[in-house]
Amino acid sequence: MSKSNKRNKKIYLDYAASVSSNPSSIHEFGLLAKQKLENARHEVASVLGARSEEIIFTSGGTESNNLAIQGIVYGIGVPLPHIITTNIEHPSVLETFKILEKRKLAQISIVPVEINGIVDPKKIKKEIKKNTVLVSVMYANNEIGTIQPIKEIVREIRHYKKINKRNNIFFHTDAIQAVNYLDLNVEKLGVDMLALSGSKMDGAGRVGVLYKKNSVSLSPVFGGGDQEMGLRPGTENLDAILKFSVAITQIQKIKEKEIKRLKILQNYFFKKVMALGAIINGDLENRLPNNVNVTFSKIPSDLLVIELSAKGIMISSKSACKSSHAEGSYVIKALRPASDPEIGGLRFSFGEKTTKQDIDYTVKIISEILTKLKKWYS
């Protein structure tokens, strides 16, 4: 090897910082990693119509939601702040609200959705108090796919703020299920904070994002470092972040075409399962195009999940984050309070590989299973 080649060789002796290059390091590898990180941040910000400094990378959607909610409560400077949400939120929102209440760190109001799974914006506004600091309503529900009227809710909050001369009420939305199908432009939506997760995008890394408007001041939930504008300590998962930025950018190129394709499959499936006696959970129109959630009277949903799995069809009966719990779906219970919790609902969710042939086969198997089970559950 020539002396010239020896001098050009890169020797990495910073393994104590990170096996791969650490964006916080100031040597050449660290600076290159930092540049990649900031490029990814810019790409994500572009999709959301935001500024790069408003994008915070986290470990996932659960952390993003927690940072938004707890960050406001801890940093707002209001004694016993009041926060508002709905009764069908993801556990990472709903349980965080309940924990804050239990620890006497916040007062909470949980607004019930209507029978179609959509909350009334005026009922949200009605719950606002003098000490209200945060409203959190998910963009699209993870079980029944209903799309919440985010813009209308924001409009009601702004009206209240204007009349009462308030500027410290913020709006957060869990947009994790919406990423593949709905408009994520934060300016159009009017949101102050928006949470995303790579787990819902094909090819994305296991990483989360929290959009935080510059005018929103959050307190960090964890201690230990000043990464991510001092709000999320810990070395960034650069590989996952890069995959996330590529995936969310690619989605924008195929989103409209894929929505149309899935909507056709969804309507086709609705007609087929309704002919078998299925009850549709959630609004028929204002829902994600890849979601079909149904109930078959008197037949436990968990039993149907097992029967379908035995035939090679994988679905769920409630949120995967709560599937280990014995109780039925609280989302279905919110729609029909008098229903038997054991019956619950079946969630069929489509993706890019779902075909009409898949739907036809699924309907055929459901029909066969119902014929068998109705002997015992009639």
- Residues that are catalytic: 321
Distance CA 24, CA 352 (A): 37
Cα–Cα distance, 249 to 344 (Å, whole number)? 36
Measured in degrees and rounded to the nearest 5, phi and psi for residue 75 equal -110, -5
Q: Are 280 and 270 in contact (CB under 8 A)?
A: yes
Q: Are 319 and 143 in contact (CB under 8 A)?
A: yes
Residue with tokens 């926060």: 83
Q: Which two tokens stand for residue 95?
A: 């349980």
Rounded CA-CA distance 355/376 in Å is 32
The full DSSP string for 58-121 is: ESSHHHHHHHHHHHHHHHS--SS-EEEEETT--HHHHHHHHHHHHTTS-EEEEEPP-TTS---H
Cβ-Cβ contacts under 8 Å for 284 (sequence gap 6 or more): 270
Which amino acid is located at 149 in the chain?
Answer: P
